[in-house]
Every structure is written in structure tokens, then in C-alpha cells.
Structure 1
Amino acid sequence: MKPGIKIQLSFMMFLEFFIWGAWFVTLGTFLGKNLQATGGESAKVFATQSWGAIIAPFIVGLIADRFFNAERILGILHLIGAALMYFMFRSENISSFYPYVFTYMALFMPTLALVNSVSFRQMSNPEKEFSFIRVWGTIGWIVAGLLISYVFHWDSKESSDQGALRNTFAMASVVSLVLGIFSFALPKTPPVQIAKEDRSITKLLGLDALKLLKDKNFLVFFIASILICIPLAFYYQNANLFLSEINLANPTGKMTIGQMSEVLFMLCLPIFFKRFGFKNTILLGMLAWALRYALFAYGNPGELAFMLILGIALHGLCYDFFFVCGQIYTDAKAGEKYKSAAQGLITLATYGVGMLIGFEVAGMISDHYKIAENAHDWKMVWLIPAGIAAAVMLLFALSFNDKTKAEAPKETGAVI
């Protein structure tokens, strides 16, 4: 790959995930403190990510891949997204905010696939080249969080109480505008010519991979993937609000430790995979979910602050050892015929169905354990997802017994 193209793609990834990290991490705190949203209302807002994941295959599979250049669709979606972000910035209540965030996520989630498409089409050896490009996305997410906490101080108690978190949407709007314009300068990525027999909606949406569910072990993994997304949703929806309510300094900046740990554990994943195998590696990831929420339940911003930091740092182990490990297993199980379809199916199941259920459960639990304005019984809020993660781990340990040999790639890209 030419150095100039490598720089373009890296900058594209940086902006793509900077935008997401600029507003999504602090969203729960903004909704609760600035829009006075209930746990149920927050759940509906966070669930727009899941609806976006469900809608995404239709935009990418039925429109982008068939009729238009990927970089042009990417540009148009981000330009519209910039306008929607501005309207979210101006919204004064949850009823006016929700239509904008729903529309935005329906358009943003497809861009996650589009940036990958633009990248892969420029690569002759994706296994070696993609990780360098993708890691800039993780860096973009980290930089957004550090700016919010340590440069602008929008998430400090005084600033957030005065509505400063609203500025995160303005920042995301500006960067989305930049990426929208920049996208038209990216390498041309024309639609792929699809064979006549592959043009059915079933094949374009990856539903052919449903045949894999006939395999008992893959079905167990599939169900576990959906269920583990319930505790995952608690983290996305409640972690920043939790850290803000208990007055941990610079919560958004500290949460970037989770993304930093992803890079570290991504490097460790092939070693664990080779030494302990798929089942034990994925069980370790599940155990980490239960452990991190126990640390959140019993930690505090004082002498036990190290428990909160350790819980945040476990994000890389939680995510990489379950989700990335699961992607590797799915790739090996699917075979050449169903590789893309199977990955699409798992994404739909996790970020679509699983997270949709998870956000709803997290909202119900948050409302049930709300004890005052801007105050929750956080110990109980976190012990419940810890118990769910432990139960899923036990179910998987007892039910899964697949001897499939899946090789971990030598290099891969970190995923938020």
C-alpha cells in the first residue's frame, strides 16, 4: 500500500471513532443530568445503537455494495450526521432528542462497515496491513475521551451540572462534517459486481449463515453471545453515569484506560488462544465481565478507587477474549462459503438483538435502584450484571464442547 493511502485510511479511522467516542461515552450522564431522563428513557436512547446495527445490513448490503461507491456513501452519511448532531446539541428534552439520535444511529452504524470496506479494498495483505489502520480508530476514541476530561473538563461535577456535556455533540458535529468532506477524497471504492445467484435478500443480509445453528456447539456459542451482551449494555449505559455520580475525577478520561487495555489484550490474545484453546479463552473473557462488575459494586472514589480503575482496565480482557475470540471461532466454523454471512449474523445477534435486550434490562434495573435525584444504589445495579455474566459463563462451560481448531491471526485490529 502506498504511504499516502495508508495515511488517508488511518485518518479516516481516527475520525470515525473519534466521533463515536466524543459523545457516546458520556451519553448516559448527559441524559440523566441534563435531560432528566429516566432509566427506561435512557435505555430507549441507547437501544438506537442496536436498531442501527439491525438496519445497517440493508444500507450496506442492499444499497452501498450494489449501486454506489463506498467512500461517497460514507461522505453523505457523515454530512447528514453532522446536521443531526447539531440538532442533538440544541435539544432541550428527551422527546425532541430521541428522533435525532435514532436517525443518527441508523445512519452511523452502517459507516462502521463502510470504513472497513474502503480499507480492505486498498489492501493486498489485510492480515498484516489492517491492524495498523484500525488501531488509529481506537486512538481516536481515546483522544476524544482525554479531550473531554483533561482539556475541556466538560465531565467535571461543576461543568456537567451546568450542562457542559452538551458540547460533546457540537464537537462530534464538527468532526463529522470534516470526515464527511474528507471522505470524497478517499480512494475510489466502486460497488462490487455481485453474481446473479448471490443477489437475493437472504444472501445479501447474511441469513444463509443460519444453517450453522444446526450445529449444537455453535448454537450454544450463539445464545451465549446474545446473553453476554446484557451485562455489556450495563457498561455502555451506566459506567460514565456511575463514575460521575460517585464523584470520581475525570471519569471520561479514565474510561479511555479500557480502550488502551484493548490494544494490550489484543496482542496477548493469540498467545492465550494457542496455549489454552478457544473454550478456556472465551470463559476467561466471561469471568472478566463478572469480576469487573463486582469491582464496580464494592469500589469507591476514595481508598478503593483502584478497584474502579481495575474494573475499567478489564474492558480489553472482557471484549477481546469474548467478542474477538468469538469472531475467530465463527470464521473457522463457517468455512469459506459462509465466512462473511456468519460474521454478519453474529454482529446482528450481539449488537442488534443482544444489546437491545441488554439496554432494556439495564434501564429497568437503573430505575428500580434509583434512590434519589442523581443517586442510585450502585452496588445492586452492578451485582445484577455480575450475576448474569457468571450464569452465562456456567451455561457455556457446561454446554459447549467443540473441538474445532481455530487459528488466531498473527495480527488483528482492536475493536471498541
Structure 2
Amino acid sequence: MMNVKFRLTLMSFMQFFVWGAWLITIANYWFGTKQWDGTQFGAIFATMGFASLVMPTLTGIIADKWVNAEVLYGILHILYAAVLFYLPQVNSPDSFFWVMLLAMCFYMPTISLSNSISYTTLKLTQLDIIKNFPPIRVWGTIGFIVAMWTTNLTGNKATAYQFYIAGIAALALGLYAFTLPKCRPEGLIGEKKTFAQAFGLEAFKLFANYKMALFFIFSMFLGGALQLTNAYGDVFLDEFKLFPAYADSFVIRYSTIIMSISQVSETLFILAIPFFLKQFGIKKVIVIAMFAWVLRFGFFAYGDPTGNLWMIVMSCIVYGMAFDFFNISGSLFVETSTTPKTRSSAQGMFMMMTNGFGAVFGSLVSGWMIDKYFTKSYSDVQSLAAYAQTDAKNEHLLDFLKNKGIGVLENGSLSRALDVKDWHSIWLSFTCYALIITIVFAIMFKHKHNKAEETAIKAMGH
């Protein structure tokens, strides 16, 4: 029994290691190494959303009818590894988008497949899923943290090697998957399913219910908020190195490690969810999660690596509350507000709205907005020095430009314009976005616990 749990734990650890090795640091590679623009970067994070709209459902049907889940899982990870190995060879942002989309089409369905493999294996070995799965899943978050630390401590957060680290681990996981207990296809049980039922399209009927429709729409908006913090958090901290006052701080050298506090917080807030649900109920916990996003962005807006370092740390801490409270309480709301016949498709709709439509919405809109309204281009060293609050001949400033591949001409102009983002205004705008969502949701969403919710909340404490 212990061997089975250990093997599933290792799978969970590797599942998120192969994602965390590049997800938080890819912005440093995009903006720093490649010097590509922000609008296109937003599209890169949208690939996860596009892939989540179709691929998890499609691979789920394949695993249900034709191929062992662990075999399909292994094949997808090997294909994902192959694409990651190729990714550093791409030198066009347009091509990078399509290659990344292919990588996400292989990776995103493995998240649900890993859960399915764990559930099936635990059932086959007669282990309690409710008791044994959460400790297994939490090692996925630990794997994500270890991957972030590995990328940062090896000096690869702005290099192509982050993709090689993820690729090697994904290849190993793919091969390891073939040794896992067999999860054979069970076929379609009971009545024959229509095309709409098979693909979960019947869940769209839930939009006829005002409360469910409202919840799904706000799920999309919150899914967009998650993409903002994943896409821009690390590069925001890294760009403080432009300012000599912050250049040698711990935060600049180890920005990815600082960001990993968010994932550590996530593992801890999971333990607090039963208490908060019992004390405040589902609606208030969801509102608390939304307000935590307000704090997440607000602390970033006023934080810096020295005097206001505590704000950056607090922003990472409240992330755990923002992420966990919404996803778990939201999932519980869906679970207890639908019938057994529509429950699975409703949960699929919840994930589709957050990780699918929400991811696409958040990535594309934020990329366009940042590039259009919050990016300033500097063409001479004097104006850039004034912005960085230093002298134009400051060695650190000149080294910064050199690392960007930008020279200073005799007349003081730069050999190539440098685009600098106004992070304070960016995070303030995201703060206002999250605050508006929180207020509108609190006013519009009317909810009282039903008996199923009361029972489920009581069960969480045991």
C-alpha cells in the first residue's frame, strides 16, 4: 500500500515540476533574452486556455474507451518533452506561439489524467480517496516549488535551459508512467451518450440558471486574474535591477524563489479551508478569495525589494488564500448545486471557464493593455537614467544596457530603444479590476446553504 502511495506521490511531484520549471520564468526569457513585445507574450499564456478548452475532454474520452490512462499519460509527456526540446530553437514570436500551443495541447490534459490515474489506482488498491489523495496532490505543489528553485538557483530563469530542465523531467515522467498500475478503459457505462454529452457540452444548459451563470462568468474573470500573476510576477521583480538602489538585493538575484512563497502559501491555506467554510460559508469565502486578489495586486503595486519588501512577501502569502479559497469553495458550490447527472460536466465547465476562457481572456487583454498603455520606450541614456534615478554614466546602468544588447552612441542616444513597463500603474489597474469584480459579485450573487453544502462542509473537517 505504501509503495502505491509513494509511486503516485512521485507522479504528482513530477507532474507539476515539468510545468513549474518554466511557467513563472518564461517572461524573463521572452522580454529579457528574446526582447519580444508584450502583446504577443499575452498570447503565449493564452495557449494554456486554448488547449484547456478541448484537449482534456478529448483525451478523457480516449482514456475511457480505447487506451489505458497511464499509457496515454506517458505518451503525452514524451511528446510534451519533445516540443520543449525544440522550443529554444524558435526565433520568431509568431512561431513560438504555435510551438507553445502544441506543447500545451500535450501537457494540459495530463493534469486531469494524473488525477484520474490516482483515483483509479487508489480504488483498485482499496485505499480511501478522500483520506489519501490530498497528501498525494500536495506534493504536486511541492514539485512546482522545487522546479522554480531549480531554475533560479542554476541561473537559468532567463535562458533556454529552463525548457531543457522541464523537457528532461517530462521525458523521465513519460517513461515512468508506463510502469504505473494499469488503468484500463471502462467504456461508456449505461445509456449511450450523445456527442454533446460525451464532450460535456450539455453543461452549457446550466447557464439557464441565473445563479450558475453568474458564478461561471465570475469564474472566468477570476481565471483571468490568475494568468496576470503567473505571467508577470517574476519579470516584475526582475526588472527592479534597472534601478541601482535595488540592483544587488536578494529579491533581484532570487526573484523566482521569492515568487515560490506563493506556492508555499497555497499548501498551507488548503488546511485552513474547512475552518473558513464552517465560519463564513461558501459565498463569503469566495468573496474573501476575490478580495485576496485585490491585496495580491495592491501589495505588488507599492512593494519594492528594500524598504517595502514586506509588501512583496505579503502579496505572495495572500496568493495562497486567493487561489485555494476560490477553487475549492467554487468546486464545492458546483458539486452541491447540480444533480448527479450533470455534476461531472458542471465541474468540467468550472475548469473550462477558469483555465480555458478565463486564461485566454486574461492573457490576451492584459498583454494588449500593458503594451498599449503601460509601456514607455526610451531612446536616449539621459531620459532612461532620469527614470532609473541615477547618473547616465552609472556603471550598473551601462551594464544593464549591455546585457540587453543595447549600446550608447556618442550623442547619448541608444543603439536600440528600450521598452520599460510602468509596473506601479499596471498592478494598480489590476487591483481596481479585482476590486470591481469583488464588489459586483458580493452584490449580485445571492446564496444560502442547502443541506448538501452543510453536509459537505462538516465532512471537510474530519
With normalisation by structure 1, the TM-score equals: 0.93
Quick one: which of 134, 139, 144 aligns to 2:142? 139
Shift of 1:232: 2.0
| Greater RCO (Cα-Cα under 8 Å, separation 6 or more) | 1
Deviation at 1:312, TM superposition (A): 1.4
Preserved CA contact (<8 Å) 1:237 1:362: no
Q: Deviations over 1:182-232 (max 9, x none)?
A: 000001001122136343221122222233323222222111111222222
Contact 2:281 2:449 in 1 (8 A): no
| Gap change, CA 1:370 and 1:109, over 3 Å in 2 | same
Q: What are the Cα deviations for residues 113-135 of structure 1, in whole angstroms up to 9, with x where unaligned? A: 11011000012421111101101
Secondary structure of the residue aligned to 2:211 is helix
**Secondary structure of 1:92's aligned partner:** coil
Q: Take 1:410 and 1:314, find their aligned partners in 2: how far apart are those partners?
A: 26
Match of 2:444 among 386, 394, 399: 399
Contact 2:282 2:329 in 1 (8 A): yes
One-letter code of the match for 1:333? Answer: S
CA-to-aligned-CA distance 1:360-382 (integer Å, 9 cap, x gap): 11101220211233521111111
1:173 and 2:222 correspond: no
- 1:376 aligned to which of 404, 413, 421: 421
Deviation at 1:348, TM superposition (A): 0.8
List runs of 5+ in structure 1 lacking aligned partners.
none
| Contact kept in structure 1, 2:60 and 2:113, CA below 8 Å | no
Measured in 1, the distance between the counterparts of 2:91 and 2:338 equals 47
Q: Is the CA contact (8 Å cut-off) linking 2:58 and 2:199 kept in structure 1? A: no
Indicate the residue corresponding to 2:76 in structure 1. 77
Whether the 8 Å CA contact 1:233–1:359 is kept in 2: the answer is: yes
Conservation of the 8 A alpha-carbon contact between 2:65 and 2:185: yes
Maintained 8 Å contact 2:223/2:353: no
Amino acid at match of 1:366: I
* Long gaps (5+) in structure 2: 242-250, 378-417
**Of 338, 355, 360, which residue of structure 2 is paired with 1:356?**
360
Measure the CA separation in 1 of the matches of 2:35 and 2:457: 45
Q: Distance in 2 between matches of 1:154 and 1:77?
A: 25
Distance 2:19 2:65 in 1: 27
Q: Structure 2 residue aligned with 1:232, among 204, 226, 229? A: 226
Tell me the distance in 2 between the aligned counterparts of 1:270 and 1:28: 35
Matches within 5 A, 1:45-60: 45-60=44-59
Please provide the CA RMSD for this pair.
1.6
Q: Per-residue deviation at 1:174?
A: 0.4
Instruction: Give 3-state SS (helix, strand or coil) of 2:376's partner.
Output: strand
Q: Secondary structure at the match of 2:338?
A: helix
The residue matched to 1:191 in structure 2 has which SS?
coil
1:270 maps to which of 260, 270, 274: 274
Q: Deviations over 1:51-108 (max 9, x none)?
A: 1101223422332221100000011111111110100133233233222211010111
SS in 1 for 2:191: helix
Of 153, 156, 161, the match for 2:155:
153
Q: How many residues align?
A: 402
Moved more, 309-318 or 226-235: 226-235
Say which is worse superposed, 182-191 or 219-228, in terms of deviation: 219-228
Inter-partner Cα distance in structure 1 for 2:318 and 2:48: 23
Aligned equivalents of 1:397, 1:313: Cα separation in 2: 23
Match of 1:206 among 200, 205, 227: 200
- 3-state SS of 1:375 partner: strand
Whichever residue aligns with residue 197 of structure 2, its letter is K
For 2:56, give the aligned amino acid: P
Q: 1:104 to 1:371 in 2, by over 3 A?
A: same
8 Å Cα contact 2:27-2:232 kept in structure 1: yes
Preserved CA contact (<8 Å) 1:60 1:113 = no
Residue among 232, 248, 258 paired with 1:254: 258
**Who is 2:381 aligned against?**
none
Identity of aligned residues (%): 32
Partners of 1:102 and 1:59 lie apart in 2 by 16
Out of 339, 342, 345, the residue aligned to residue 346 of structure 2 is: 342
Against the structure 1 CA distance between its residues 305 and 114, is the aligned structure 2 distance closer, same or farther, given a 3 Å change threshold?
same
Task: Name the counterpart of 2:292.
Answer: 288
Distance across 1 between alignment mates of 2:458 and 2:50: 31
Q: Assess, with a 3 A threshold, how the Cα gap between structure 1 residues 29 and 54 changes in structure 2: closer, same or farther.
A: same
Range with bigger deviation, 191-200 or 231-240:
191-200
CA distance, structure 2, for counterparts of residue 178 and residue 310 of structure 1:
36
Return the letter of the residue paired with 1:390.
Answer: L
Please tell me whether the aligned partners of residues 33 and 374 of structure 1 are also in contact (alpha carbons under 8 angstroms). Answer: no
Q: Counterparts of 2:345 and 2:457 in 1: how far apart (Å)?
A: 19
Q: 1:408 corresponds to which residue?
A: 457
Question: Secondary structure in 2 aligned to 1:197?
Answer: coil
Match of 2:433 among 381, 384, 388: 388
Which runs of structure 2 are paired with 1:100-119 in the superposition (5 Å)? 100-119=99-118
| Dislocated runs of 4+, deviation >3 Å | 408-412
Shift of 1:404: 3.0
**SS of residue paired to 2:181:** coil
Provide Cα deviations, 1:328-356, integer angstroms capped at 9, x if missing partner.
11111113222211110111111111111
**Cα distance in structure 1, aligned partners of 2:376 and 2:305:** 19
Post-superposition offset of 1:409? 7.3
- Does the 8 Å CA contact 1:296/1:307 hold for their aligned counterparts? yes
Residue number in structure 2 paired with 1:64? 63
